[in-house]
Amino acid sequence: MAQGIFLDLVSRSPRETQHLGSYLGELAQAGDIFLLRGGLGTGKTCLVQGMAQGLGSAEPARSPSFVLVHCYEGRLPLYHIDLYRLECVEEVVELGLEDYFYGKGVCVVEWAERALSIFPPEHMLISLAYLSPRRRSLRMEPKGKRYEEMLEQVRYQIAAGRG
């Protein structure tokens, strides 16, 4: 795997963030893992809303902070996991998330930075940051060939003016 592959984007609205998420949902395959990191208000849940839509879920995604895992049914199940309320890696390990990571759905994990060491080595890491009230930065870092190919598809869509 090549080192230092990434894509930096700037979203100018929640709608743009959802649009990117929708495209990622369309590209998603069973077993895909998306790890989201970033502070409060950076657009993590907004990105997941788009992913659920791209996977064909009729139910709008919302932050699962109080239930830790929420499943949205669509073309593939989307397992939306939120680690915000957990204090340490050990608490995350105790959740037994492996069934989700190696299952037939797509996993997206908010606050993934709280337990990066426990996730499978191949995944798409997406870092989000607040720039201004209307702008967020997103850095997509693929870990593994599958995710490198996905990143190239995203680049192509952007270059074609569709992303």
Q: What is the pLDDT of residues 22-62, one digit of tens each?
A: 999 999 999 999 999 999 999 999 999 999 999 999 888 88
More confident residue, 5 or 95: 5
For residue 159, the model assigns a pLDDT of 81
| Average confidence (pLDDT) over 63-73 | 77
Question: Could you tell me the pTM of the whole model?
Answer: 0.91
Distances (CA, A) of 32 to 49, 50, 77, 158: 16, 16, 11, 21
Domains of the chain, by residue range, sit at 8-132
**Fold of the 8-132 domain:** Rossmann fold (3.40.50)
